[in-house]
Structure 1
Amino acid sequence: MNLRSGRLKGQMSGEVADFTSSLQFDVRIFQADVQCNQAHTTMLMEQGIISRQIGERILSALAELEKEGIDALDLNPAVEDIHMAVENYVTSKIGSDAGFMHTAKSRNDQVATDLRIALKEEIQEIQRELLIFIDTIVEMAQEHLDTLMVGYTHLQHAQPTTFAHHLLSYAQALKRDYGRLQDAYQRMDLCPLGSAALTTTSFPINRNRTAELLGFSGPMENSIDGVSSRDFIAETVFALTLLGTTLSKISEELIIWSTYEFRMVELADEFSSTSSIMPQKKNPDVAEIVRGKTAVLNGELVTILTIIKSLPQSYNRDLQEVTPHLWKATDTLSAALKITREMLASAEFKSERGAELARANFSAATELADLMVREGNLPFRTAHQIVGRSVSIALDKGMKAEDIDAQFLDEISKELTGETLGIDESIVKKALDPHEIIRSRNVIGGPAPSQVKEVIVNLKKFIQENHS
């Protein structure tokens, strides 16, 4: 069928047809388009808008197409898009009666519906992968409840913590990423079909029925909005971009931690490479590629926002150009998500090195200050000053954290405040023990094993509740 043969006298040149065709990326909505036509035709029959005989012939042809797959279509760019390719297929099977399939709908509401159907499936698949990733992290955390490491701020030693506590920070970020996708899903779970070109139709269609047949929670309530809105795509890609940022941060830490200077993690050989000239090298190439590829998501989001930001309401052909950026984003994210999960799961955490770093470089300093507040009844800022001076002097003298004792602290306190602290030596030593420090952080969100176990229980419950 030649759609241009009515109103237009001339035909597009091959170059123009190639330039304007969406078929290259329409393959992603082929299945959704068949479903859309099946639901619409079923509704037309039920409403008595088309005869049952014609409707059943259309449905039979669509079922045959569904079985044969997209290879059965003529995807010549002159066809313009997947909608015409499907209609042409049905026409080749049943003749001109195929045209009844297009009664009371437009390509405008059809593509908007197709995109929502296909994207809902993509989101659900990514969410399933996210739950697997969170579960993987939970399992890893259970193995490292007491595995010491040092926590960092500004990439400088800060306070002792555990690998479990740090790993669960990834899980919480991924949980929020899951929630953002769920929010986007709920807002796109409304059906545009029946909006037609922009003002619905005079035929007595049943939009609630087509929404039901296609698995939507209901129809969109404004037909202009139905054909023109692509904010659901922008919102989804935004959520994917933030998820990509989470994956990039995980990859970045694996890169840093695997260096000789850190030596906290050994990446599996399957996720590493070597140098073409330096035979000793083990490079974290996969983590670097994840870090690089997830940057693509930022670009896709900005491109989508730029396309839609200045469009007038209702349908504009510019919207066609949003779609390839959507699929590039979903494909990039899906691949990065699986790779990052497998890479993290296969990484070996070096417990001895973690403990060494947790005890080094005065990471217990905060607990010493807290100790002075509790035992010496000092204001925290005074305690902060005493400990800061103690660390400075200890560094000048080449002392380690374990060399600090009650007498040393008394001398600094006397110098700064005129009074000694009088804190028992055993209490000072306890405050310098990373294991004791971690156990003392028995506050919601803290690294104490009891708190970490509770978080693990909550995450397992979250996984179970959302598992389908």
Structure 2
Amino acid sequence: MNLRSGRLNQEMSSEAADYTSSLTSDKVIFYADIKCNFAHVLMLKHEKIIDADIADKILEALDKLKEEGYEALTFDNSVEDVHMAIENYVTNIVGPDGGFMHTAKSRNDQVATDIRLVLRDKITEIQIAILDFIEGLTLLASEHLETVMVGYTHLQHAQPITIAHHLMAYAQSLKRDYERLDDTYKRVNLNPLGSAAMTTTSFPINRELTTKLLGFSKFLENSMDGVSSRDFISETVFDLSSLMTTLSKICEELILWSSYEFGVVKIADEYSSTSSIMPQKKNPDVAELARSKATIVNGELITILTILKAIPYTYNRDLQEITPHLWNAVTVSEDTLNIVTKMLLSAEFNKKRCLELAGSNFATVTDLADLMVRERKIPFRTAHKIVGRVVNEAIDQNKSTNDIDSEFIDNIAIELDFKPLNLGDELVQKVLDPLENVKIRSVPGGPSPEMVNLAISNLTEFLNEEFEKKGI
């Protein structure tokens, strides 16, 4: 039975019905739609807009459907979406009076409300997963405060850091992803219900009551905006795209670091595969797939923005096409966040190889230049020039960092028409030692164990506050 067939002389063709149907993605908003209808009918009853007995029967039918689940609905060519299927279900139980549940309400404000109800829960779930990942990173970092490795710029050896410092860089990036979602949540948690089709209604509805019943912070104050705004979706998917970019970068480094050439990390077998022909292979397939799935969310964002860019006010059916892209972005992000969390936190770091890389390829010589500035009060650019020549000469003479001593430096300084620096072998070797090199970088935000421990403490405090807000 088509409840809205009065205006049309013929039913929509089955081909057109299938083409316009949103049922494939409507299952996501099923329980939200029941909740939305329930709050609306309670409000209609409270305001005496519909008879209390009729309202109670409708509410009982909605409760019954909530218990029976989505499978209790009946779908045919006359049912184009979940809203109509639910209304049919209620009407079949209550009779024609079931139609009162749609008093002072349109599908336009109803679907806008449903999406927001589901999305705010999804945002919270993803935020909690991010917090769990950050917590895992802080715990793992605390085990590697003095596990020295080399940091890179341009993917070339730059300066020594620690595994802990690198892991905390991930944690800080994830914290920003969390905070972006936290800010977006404020704009998702607004109630469009009561906007009706686009101009509210002549019935004396109570929007404050439905806002309270549905747990929104407040209602949207323009009915045209209420039914047609979907920027909260594009904003959420942007946040998810940013999160996926963070996860993709993590995966990129796991892939690089697990290669023989780097040899820094061992990815657990559970997140690896082997070759169909080369039995020696251990491939980082999960990290590779996670890295590629970031592009899916990026694509969904562009699709959503493109749909939105040229739609006139107010509601247009184009908006229906946005939600499948939203739910796909949410699903891909949730799944990827879950798998990357488990993969990274189960990885094993090769401490010996990390130290070897940190001490090779002259990664510590920046502090040799700093030493010259501190001890001999020469300009940094002068020190930079001397140290650059020291490295060139060491490479030409096949010397390593361990072979550089005070005399070697003085000879270079003299060649460049500078005075001997007489730094002494003890000072030179200390600044060139990777662990000592890290320890002296005790500026807040730096890689010294002391500063990383402080960063872990600060982030742990943040985690405790946020977990408490989420009721965990």
TM-score of the superposed pair, with normalisation by structure 2: 0.98
Q: Whole-Å Cα distance in 2 between the matches of residues 385 and 230 of structure 1?
A: 57
Q: Whole-Å Cα distance in 2 between the matches of residues 295 and 239 of structure 1?
A: 14
1:79-158 correspondence runs (5 A) = 79-158=79-158
Partner of 1:66: 66
Partner of 2:311: 311
1:167-182 correspondence runs (5 A) = 167-182=167-182
Confirm or deny that 1:349 pairs with 2:374. Answer: no
Q: Which amino acid aligns with 2:438?
A: I
Confirm or deny that 1:199 pairs with 2:205. Answer: no
Partner of 1:457: 457
On the 8 A contact 1:33/1:114 being kept in 2, the answer is: yes
How large is the Cα RMSD of the aligned pairs?
0.8
Q: Whole-Å Cα distance in 1 between the matches of residues 178 and 131 of structure 2?
A: 8
Q: Whole-Å Cα distance in 1 between the matches of residues 75 and 394 of structure 2?
A: 75
Q: Whole-Å Cα distance in 2 between the matches of residues 67 and 5 of structure 1?
A: 30
User: Which blocks of at least 5 consecutive residues in structure 1 are unaligned?
Assistant: none
CA deviations on 1:163-182 (whole Å, 9 max, x unpaired) are: 00000000000000000111
Q: Whole-Å Cα distance in 1 between the matches of residues 336 and 150 of structure 2?
A: 28
Q: Which amino acid aligns with 2:46?
A: E
On the 8 A contact 1:21/1:77 being kept in 2, the answer is: no
Compared with structure 1, are the counterparts of its residues 77 and 324 closer, same or farther at alpha carbon in structure 2 (3 Å cutoff)? farther
Structure 1 residue 68 displacement after superposition: 0.4
Q: Whole-Å Cα distance in 1 between the matches of residues 381 and 72 of structure 2?
A: 76
| 3-state SS, counterpart of residue 119 of structure 1 | helix
Partner of 2:263: 263
| 3-state SS, counterpart of residue 212 of structure 2 | helix
Partner of 2:388: 388
Between 1:366-375 and 1:76-85, the stretch displaced more is 76-85
Confirm or deny that 1:331 pairs with 2:331. Answer: yes
Q: Whole-Å Cα distance in 1 between the matches of residues 113 and 232 of structure 2?
A: 12
Structure 1 residue 308 displacement after superposition: 0.4
Of all paired residues, the percent bearing the same amino acid is 59
CA deviations on 1:326-352 (whole Å, 9 max, x unpaired) are: 010000010000000000011100000
Confirm or deny that 1:419 pairs with 2:424. Answer: no
| 3-state SS, counterpart of residue 79 of structure 1 | coil
Q: Whole-Å Cα distance in 1 between the matches of residues 175 and 8 of structure 2?
A: 53
Q: Whole-Å Cα distance in 2 between the matches of residues 413 and 105 of structure 1?
A: 83
Structure 1 residue 77 displacement after superposition: 4.7
Q: Whole-Å Cα distance in 1 between the matches of residues 202 and 12 of structure 2?
A: 32
Q: Which amino acid aligns with 2:184?
A: A
Partner of 2:39: 39
Structure 1 residue 3 displacement after superposition: 3.8
Structure 1 residue 436 displacement after superposition: 1.0
Structure 1 residue 188 displacement after superposition: 1.1
Q: Whole-Å Cα distance in 1 between the matches of residues 67 and 255 of structure 2?
A: 47
CA deviations on 1:269-324 (whole Å, 9 max, x unpaired) are: 10110000000000000100101112100100000000001111210100000000
Confirm or deny that 1:431 pairs with 2:431. Answer: yes
CA deviations on 1:402-440 (whole Å, 9 max, x unpaired) are: 101111111111122431112122111111011111111
1:2-21 correspondence runs (5 A) = 2-21=2-21
CA deviations on 1:191-248 (whole Å, 9 max, x unpaired) are: 0000000010111111011010001001101110000000000000000000000110
Q: Whole-Å Cα distance in 2 between the matches of residues 312 and 413 of structure 1?
A: 71
Partner of 1:184: 184
Q: Whole-Å Cα distance in 2 between the matches of residues 114 and 354 of structure 1?
A: 51
Q: Which amino acid aligns with 1:154?
A: H
Partner of 1:225: 225
| 3-state SS, counterpart of residue 71 of structure 2 | helix
User: Which blocks of at least 5 consecutive residues in structure 2 are unaligned?
Assistant: none
Partner of 1:29: 29
Divergent runs of 4+, >3 A = none
Compared with structure 1, are the counterparts of its residues 75 and 385 closer, same or farther at alpha carbon in structure 2 (3 Å cutoff)? farther
Q: Whole-Å Cα distance in 1 between the matches of residues 443 and 348 of structure 2?
A: 28
Q: Whole-Å Cα distance in 2 between the matches of residues 136 and 25 of structure 1?
A: 34
CA deviations on 1:43-90 (whole Å, 9 max, x unpaired) are: 001111011111101000000000000100013353011111110000
TM-score of the superposed pair, with normalisation by structure 1: 0.99
Partner of 1:163: 163
On the 8 A contact 1:23/1:77 being kept in 2, the answer is: no
Q: Which amino acid aligns with 2:429?
A: K
On the 8 A contact 1:23/1:75 being kept in 2, the answer is: no
On the 8 A contact 1:406/1:424 being kept in 2, the answer is: yes
CA deviations on 1:342-391 (whole Å, 9 max, x unpaired) are: 00011100000000000000001111111111011111111111111110
| 3-state SS, counterpart of residue 95 of structure 2 | helix
Q: Whole-Å Cα distance in 2 between the matches of residues 256 and 76 of structure 1?
A: 53
On the 8 A contact 1:21/1:78 being kept in 2, the answer is: no
On the 8 A contact 1:159/1:364 being kept in 2, the answer is: yes
Partner of 1:360: 360
Q: Which amino acid aligns with 2:418?
A: G
On the 8 A contact 1:375/1:423 being kept in 2, the answer is: yes
